[in-house]
Structure 1
Amino acid sequence: MDYFKNAKDALNISAKEINEATGTQMCSHWFSSSQWKLPTEKQYQQLQTLFVSKSGQLPKSHSDLTTEYQALHNEYGKLIKEYDELKAEYENLRRPFHVTAEVPYTDVWTFAPVQYYPGKHPCEKPADLLEHIIASSSREGAVVLDAFMGSGSTGKACLALNRKFVGIEMEEEMYTKTINTFKG
């Protein structure tokens, strides 16, 4: 683009002169950055003739320009592909927050508490609540960490939603009991 624009500006050649010399209305496509297009070989020869008549020249051959253009076009294609790959990688690294009709986001979540049963952990969370949190904030196959595993209800929700699970429990007896429920 600069090659054409600088040559035009150096000789003060008008768009009208360029369009008349080539029999086209393509000056804005050849001599500006808007909708840029490489002229055909015939059009380029017409431009060279015009520039020589104004005591100037377009010294590069059309073949050289085509080669240069193709190299730049290929580099641009590689950059676009690299950008798309980096963008996909970035999207996969970001913590998702999926809100759908099935997993709506509001400021208040209402879930029925876990009813008493023999062996119930005192702080056990409802499975629906845990599934809601996990589904809205992780992708399938992701690893979910519960640093206060208790009875393992987060782990059970992860298994139901195709997530991996890492649980930590400080109380050895509760840890052993929970691990045994996953084995059985």
Structure 2
Amino acid sequence: YGAESKAKNDAGYALKCAELKGEVFAPLIDYFITAKNQLNITGKEIEKHMRSYMHRHWFSYSQWKLPNKSQYEKLQQLFSQKATEKRLASSLSKSHHQLNLTHDELQRDYSELMKNYDELKRQYENLRRPFSVTKDVPYTDVWNFPHVLYYPGKHPCEKPAALLKHIINASSSSGHAVADFFMGSGSTVKAAIQLGRQAIGVELETDRFLQTQKEIENLSQSLRQLKDPYPC
């Protein structure tokens, strides 16, 4: 219940919860709906016999509930009477004890699914990295990073390393893979390696690719030396 209550605070979760519950409890729900349809009993007939509107929860996927023992036995009386009148096989023939056993089993399945959802939700939240904001500007789509100054061999579209690290930190965790399919000077790949990520780079221009590959190899070697300055 705690997991379900917590998850229901999420936008749109209540609808998904109802759909899931309908799927899990479908064997019981279908048992009631099929019995009603077989005897062609109307909602008004059930209301009159039961003197309540609870049939909407017993014979529908929406907000379904299992009737208690006294309610169920009263329903059985009506369905038995209708079956006799129409010379059809008796309906709602299972005992309330049988239904309770099935209900408890399905409830355990539903609760387990809710726990799994809560765990997946927790893992997802741990993966998210909010973008940096300030007290004065709590929400912003504008990032300010100095552009890359000119140097011999500079790629015309090279992105600032600080910007790329900001993006990578905001969208991944250590050990994750970062892919750049327009690698260019390799700024994204270099930033990813420096942050402990795996990196994949793709570049169309052969000369640029070879130059970038050499730079990345030198960077990787420098990082290894910093990590272990006295290798055996």
TM-score (norm 1): 0.62
Q: Against the structure 1 CA distance between its residues 122 and 25, is the aligned structure 2 distance closer, same or farther, given a 3 Å change threshold?
A: same
Correspondent of 2:110 among 68, 76, 79: 76
What runs of 5+ residues in structure 2 fail to find an aligned partner? 1-28, 85-89, 200-211
Question: What does 1:122-141 correspond to in 2, within 5 Å?
Answer: 129-138=160-169, 139-141=172-174
- Secondary structure class of the residue paired with 1:77: helix
- Secondary structure class of the residue paired with 2:160: helix
| Displacement after TM superposition at 1:141 (Å) | 3.0
TM-score (norm 2): 0.51
Map of 1:10 onto structure 2 = 38
| Displacement after TM superposition at 1:78 (Å) | 2.4
CA distance in 1, matches of 2:79, 2:219: 85
How many residue pairs match? The answer is: 167
Map of 1:29 onto structure 2 = 57
What runs of 5+ residues in structure 1 fail to find an aligned partner? none
Instruction: Please tell me the root mean square deviation across aligned C-alpha atoms, in Å.
Output: 4.6
CA distance in 2, matches of 1:44, 1:111: 73
Q: Against the structure 1 CA distance between its residues 170 and 134, is the aligned structure 2 distance closer, same or farther, given a 3 Å change threshold?
A: same
| Displacement after TM superposition at 1:122 (Å) | 6.7
| Displacement after TM superposition at 1:175 (Å) | 5.8
Question: What does 1:41-120 correspond to in 2, within 5 Å?
Answer: 41-54=69-82, 55=84, 56-85=90-119, 99=131, 101=133, 111-113=146-148
Cα pair 1:29 1:36 within 8 Å, conserved:
yes
Q: Who wins on radius of gyration, i.e. which is larger?
A: 1
- Secondary structure class of the residue paired with 2:65: coil
Cα pair 2:175 2:198 within 8 Å, conserved:
no
Higher share in helix: 2
CA distance in 2, matches of 1:33, 1:176: 59
